[in-house]
Amino acid sequence: MTSWAVLGAGSWGTALALALSRNGHRVLLWDHDPQRAEALRRTRENQRYLPGVPLPDSIAPTGDLERALTAEQVLVVVPSHAFRGMLTQIAPFYRPGRPLAWATKGLDAASGGFLHDVAADVLPDAGPFAVLSGPSFAGEVARGLPTAVVVASRDAAFAAAVAGDFHNESFRVYTSSDIVGVELGGSVKNVLAIATGIADGMGLGANARAALVTRGLAELVRLGAALNADPQTLMGLSGVGDLILTCTDDQSRNRRFGLALGRGQQAGDARQAIGQTVEGVRTAAEVFALAQRVGVEVPLCEQVHRVLSGELTASQAMRVLMQRAQKAEFDN
């Protein structure tokens, strides 16, 4: 069995620690707050994020980062805006050639680029790298409900090793070599979930929701083509699979945030009520900027960005979308 360090003890990090533990792996579950780590150790439960789900003895919570990094494998599970900082923290303890995996979805807050580029920048002597992504709500993974995800790495052996450590009868893990496509899908879907949430919050109906999901997928595919992502990836678990999940189920924080905006709630109040990171808020601006850099139109992501920046109201953004010039469905 492999020992794992899971860096980030939020709902997703805890759920993935549980998935590993079910396969007999030992897990050091690190929280940046030593008091929270101690509470996890004492109560054997993540009462803040996953109440009612016990932590088995094979999961050892810790606030000691150096201790966590004694594990054989490392999985980073922090919000995207904290990813670069997390890697900077572990850099002094990271030996050359050591692999790294992450389950963070989003783009780099500083550069607007992909997280694998951040990893190469901060840990230039480390590697190989892998990302785990796909349609997966933390609560369902924590309870052992059936889930399918994908692990992408340019190193096939490392992808297979990570997938093998997670894979079991309730957590099915596929592999991919397309790290760009997998990261892109995991980023864009959060923005589109805000869009569909806004539409549903405004009471625009099922037709509008279906249109937003489908046209959002078209934006993802166009952007993927410009970035040399494999189009099959975007039709897979980390693309259309994650898009369907986050746009249609209220377990999605991004969708719930959009619902609140559509119902007239202020963004700050909505985020406070959710109480966890809403990745799509930051990612909307980053995806729009990325699309501008590569010359791709992303009208849905653009309007979400404009709403979140305060430039437009939700009603104004919807009018902009509906008044766009008529065109063939598959034109760029």
Gap between the Cα atoms of 91 and 7, Å rounded = 13
Cα 3 to Cα 70, 74, 101, 238, distances in angstroms: 9, 9, 13, 26
Give Cβ neighbours of residue 187 (< 8 Å, ≥ 6 apart).
80, 105, 106, 107, 279, 283, 286, 287
Using DSSP, state whether 135 is helix, strand or coil: coil
- CB 168, CB 261: distance < 8 Å: no
Residue 45 has what DSSP assignment?
A: B
Is cis: bond before 128, omega within 30 of 0?
yes
Gap between the Cα atoms of 3 and 196, Å rounded = 40
Question: In 3D, which of 269, 245, 239, 243 has the Cα closest to residue 257?
Answer: 269
Residue 243: how many CA atoms within 13 Å on its side-chain side?
A: 27
> Which residues are known to be catalytic?
189
C-alpha triplet 232, 237, 241: angle, nearest 5° = 110
Question: In 3D, which of 320, 286, 324, 325 has the Cα closest to residue 305?
Answer: 286
Cα 62 to Cα 66, 68, 69, 250, distances in angstroms: 10, 7, 11, 31
Q: What are the residues facing 149 on neighbouring strands?
A: 173
Question: In 3D, which of 171, 13, 176 has the Cα closest to residue 102?
Answer: 13
Give Cβ neighbours of residue 169 (< 8 Å, ≥ 6 apart).
none
